[in-house]
Amino acid sequence: MPASVTPSFSIARRHFLQSAAGMLSLSALGQDGPDIVNAKKRRVGLIGTGWYGKSDLWRLAQVAPIEIVSLCDPDRRMLAGAAAMAKERQASHKLPRTYGDYREMLKEKDLDIVLVGSPDHWHALHAVAAIESGADVYLQKPISRDVMEGEAILAAARKHGRVVQVGTQRKSTPHLIAAKKQIVDAGLLGKVGHVDMCCYFPMRANGNPPVEPVPDFLDYEMWTGPAPLRPYDGLPHVRWWRTFSEYGNGIMGDMCVHMLDTVRWMLHLGWPERVSSTGGIYVQKEGKSNIPDTQTAVFEYPEFHAVWQHRSWGVPPDPDYPWALFLHGEKGVLKASTMRADFVPLDPKGKKIHFDCVFEREKFPEDLKEEAIELNAAPATRLHMLDFLAAIERRGRPVADIEEGHISTASCIVANIAMQTGETLRYDPARREVKNSRAANALLRREYRKPWVRPEPIGA
């Protein structure tokens, strides 16, 4: 919405239904919709008590009555800190149960909702186990480390009838909802003929820390799980693990997944027809990091190409939009990021339209005291949680349903595979295979470290 408009995102049901503009409707939810505020208190567990896991948990607690029952993390020190914070924040002031092994937590089968905030290499095992335990799941992006893991999560969710919301909360970002409605849906762009997406943040950790003994508070075997066991060279939390392909899919899987997902939502796109990619480590060669510092990917759709570019070095070409998408239409361009959006018409006499990020500092003053919080993302995550809860109430699909999260995640993984094989690839989700490359098909499944066994999609 334009900067001159001040939105109000009340957690009351009627205000929620109005503010979620286009995501839900009274007819879909019933005449009055679900009463989120007065709904039964849901029992919640969190797997992965690091930075974003806790952030998701606190956002959920801000918009709905919950009891934080269980927390799980292989880092006992971080786990204890999260449990103490949960005891302080929740109304009951009860200390949650704590676990080092997610299997022990989930075998209790006493959780209504499980939040998965673990590193990417764990997402599939954690999500499938939570689904099978009978919980609805909020799963951070990217949903998987490889394509077949995503297929397995999707199949499990459908088989067990669970609601799975993916943490691609751009779909619930107030100023992006407004930009989609007022610019894209209103036809101000005309025919879209090209899409650019980018990230130029210097976010690629690239040090050379020495190998050292594993601290007694960290179960490094459990933290590593199905991934290869790297020599321990310091706590892997926050950004260090993301710099290794053993655990994630690089900046492509971390940042492109958000922008591609947003483009797909805005333009109503499904799977790309073909995907190609080039890149490598061109500049930042001095450290241990093995993910690309430079990468370009092309996602081909029938009417246009969506092109991704990231560099973790240098400066962005547009300093106002270092992590962003650009929808190029015959009548103008829409620039959009997590912080702002701008419509620039082709006609010099046309009206430019600006959208500012929504902050809720006055409504949620506790945000200002939270360490490392992304204040710009907090309102979006709260709306995303409300959408998740509404889907649970009606047993329907949320705005970032697991299938949509799988398409966006898998498309980015296929781009990484295309870079590795040097081919333009065509992934067939019906057959769960790349149509034109035996080499690429071999990379759709990563090898699990024993004794962990990968979840397989039903019918595979």
Predicted pLDDT at 36 = 58
- Tokens standing for 223? 């933290």
> Whose CA is closest to 130, among 116, 143, 140?
116
pLDDT of residue 340: 98
Query: Is the CB of residue 294 less than 8 Å from the CB of residue 277?
Result: no
Q: Which of 250, 224, 226, 228 is nearest to 236 (CA)?
A: 224
Give 15-22 contacts, CB < 8 A, sequence gap 24+. Answer: 16/386, 16/390, 19/174, 19/383, 20/172, 20/177, 20/383, 20/386, 20/387, 20/390, 21/177, 21/178, 21/181, 22/177, 22/180, 22/181
Cα gap 187→205, rounded to integer Å: 41
Beta strands in 281-421 (DSSP E): 294-300, 305-311, 323-329, 332-337, 340-345, 353-356
H/E stretch holding 279 reads strand 274-280
What structural domains and CATH numbers belong to the chain? 13-171+365-401 (3.40.50.720), 173-362+407-441 (3.30.360.10)
CA distance 283 to 295: 12
What is the per-residue pLDDT across 77-136, written as a single tens digit (0 to 9) for each?
999 999 999 999 999 999 999 999 999 999 999 999 999 999 999 999 999 999 999 999
pLDDT on residue 459:
64
- Give the DSSP H/E element, type plus range, for residue 86: helix 76-89
Strands (E) across 180-239 are located at 192-199
pLDDT recorded at residue 13: 36
Q: CB–CB of 209/233 below 8 Å?
A: yes
pTM of the model as a whole:
0.92
Residues of the chain scoring pLDDT < 50: 1-33
The secondary structure of residue 401, as a DSSP letter, is B
Mind listing the pLDDT tens digit for each residue in 49-86?
999 999 999 999 999 999 999 999 999 999 999 999 99
